Structure 1
């Protein structure tokens, strides 16, 4: 599977702390991002006003990004003052105000120059998960003041990992992972439509050369997920190409706009649902291979249905069964702020865990989880995106399986 590099997508990126003069119309209505001199490294010194195609994004940990396609102007605010040093600034448009004005003093601004020489202007809360993820992705430290920047050439930073691709997808940068070598096999097996997600996941496992499944379940899970991802996008691209070639035209020859919109939404919904079900499907296979007893989707109090209960739903509801031997596991491909729902899904379970593929969750967020008694489980390859102080607390899948097996052996 092709992984690619940051340099395939970006020339450079800079990050700074925003001030109220840049984002608060009650303080200033200048529409300028200041202190951007370091952007000269990849934008160059403006000798005249340079209008650049720009996508503005407001990013949060709770909602989908708010996006606007517009422009920005790179210019020297002192161009008519030859006796003074140049002071380059980035002017944002009035139509970008609904996004820019969401920010507060001290929030983070990331300015990215793409290979097509367009700009991505990414704005997010200071201390948020997405800020931490972007800093890790671009290999930057949060600036106390001023601007930090990085440039990308060749293989700098190494190949894009699953975690890196997940963050890029969040900001609308699509990394090509489809592997057309799978296409003949896929069309022979599934024809012209996607099967149920469990069937597709099983097919991916069948054709994955895993590492030691018992000795290294973390890498095995990631191998399965990445194989399924490459297969999924290869098959999806094939089916979408066929549908687009057929056109969206009604019998009277008019363009079927509703049909196109409906098809586009179905593609997006399938992508969103696949990721979560894929993780659960592969976990089921992993737990079965490790011979641990569990139920998927068993009901607890209030008709709640945690993703996994160990050893079983029947044991959970048996008042004579030792609650110290019960383990609850939630499964969320993207954790975001939804981890709290796991806390209410089983009153008898003293040990509550959440497995996620979310990279680089902020220290504030993981400290909240610790305070609420929730243990995060992250596959070992993704743990590398977390701070060292967090990694000491995280459980790998192998760690989690060892915990479940040890509880099953308890006799006291």
Structure 2
């Protein structure tokens, strides 16, 4: 199967707004999703039991829940001569107990024949991302069905981001690069700065000066692919060796697993900063990275410099602060207190399809969002009016720098 297609992860999906009868035990204890006949073309007409992966998504990453349960597909009118009424019974999980009427529900049949049950509260970024990914324009109380295999989508950066955020492992390892990576670094992870520089060196068809937005995404995608290739090699070797003296030490396995997850998370953030820094240098823009302002805060980037920031007589209107967050969700507020002298903060993020609720709140807090150009299409037309691309942001900073030099 070709890489990069949505059909690699889903055969088909149904989606709707949850109704009270489906989730409120005061009204019904049926534990069933009703009105789902359209799913028959994917699930068939025979009674069957599926392993289900239930995920409750919120804009606070710490509140996101994941749980395994089961779902039973059956025809409630099996003995009726002319009528069919297919239902999907779900087992008790804390996620379904947490769900409320009006929440967005998406059920997808995966290629390993499991059912992914994704729930996102109304008005959240998680809801908006799922609606965008599956090209759902309007959603109501009745299920809509989409056969992914016959109506496929090529996954771009935003699509991969969303799938990964809901728990799907995106396989982007590329064996053709493994020999080059091992020749350069051996069987170990280099520092993030060194690896980012290596990733950039393997791409020569982009320009950080003429096309900074396109270049940033290309560098990020290439580094992700190279990292996954090296990670797959190193982790495979470790799995062959086993864990602990007896090769099956559970604590050693858990410790190794956590180290893999933590490396992934921290590396992504550092890579984002590294590539932005390279673009700023290519553009010959003056900046300070990770320098202290007030209360030991360290904004990711200050323009033109931390020295100018701490000069009381330096014009405030020529100062710019840029926070860098791979995911915005609940973390965007952290940048608000990182540079007291600068009233309007800038934040660049790779988070696609941020909800209108959140972008309105950011605007109210005088936070200007910077979104790479190719990700802007995931936002509504009205939201896009208030977004800056990286190219736009560079123009703002360059104009201020020109006044500073004069």
TM-score normalised according to structure 2 size = 0.95
Number of corresponding residues? 403
1:347 partner SS: coil
Residue in structure 2 matched with residue 135 of structure 1 by the alignment: 131
Q: How does 1:336-375 map to 2 (within 5 A)?
A: 336-375=329-368
Decide whether the 8 Å contact of 1:326 with 1:350 is kept in 2.
no
Residue in structure 1 matched with residue 158 of structure 2 by the alignment: 163
Q: How does 1:205-284 map to 2 (within 5 A)?
A: 205-250=200-245, 253=246, 255-284=248-277
Q: How does 1:121-132 map to 2 (within 5 A)?
A: 121-132=117-128
What whole-Å deviation, never above 9, does each CA across 1:139-181 have from its counterpart, x for those lacking one? 1124133122211126722x21111111111122222111111
Aligned match for 2:54, one of 53, 56, 63: 56
1:330 partner SS: strand
RMSD: 1.7
Decide whether the 8 Å contact of 1:17 with 1:145 is kept in 2.
yes
What whole-Å deviation, never above 9, does each CA across 1:228-266 have from its counterpart, x for those lacking one? 01100000011111111112241xx46322111111111
Residue in structure 2 matched with residue 324 of structure 1 by the alignment: 317
Give, in whole Å, the separation in 2 of the partners of 1:121 and 1:156.
20
Give, in whole Å, the separation in 2 of the partners of 1:145 and 1:154.
25
1:201 partner SS: helix
Residue in structure 2 matched with residue 24 of structure 1 by the alignment: 24
Structure 1 position 320, deviation (Å): 0.3
Aligned match for 1:109, one of 81, 91, 105: 105
Q: How does 1:393-412 map to 2 (within 5 A)?
A: 393-410=386-403
Give, in whole Å, the separation in 2 of the partners of 1:278 and 1:284.
10
Cα distance change of structure 1 residues 319 and 196 upon mapping to structure 2, 3 Å threshold: same
Structure 1 position 80, deviation (Å): 3.5
Decide whether the 8 Å contact of 1:324 with 1:350 is kept in 2.
no
Decide whether the 8 Å contact of 2:48 with 2:72 is kept in 1.
yes
Unaligned runs of 5+ in 1: none
Structure 1 position 199, deviation (Å): 0.8
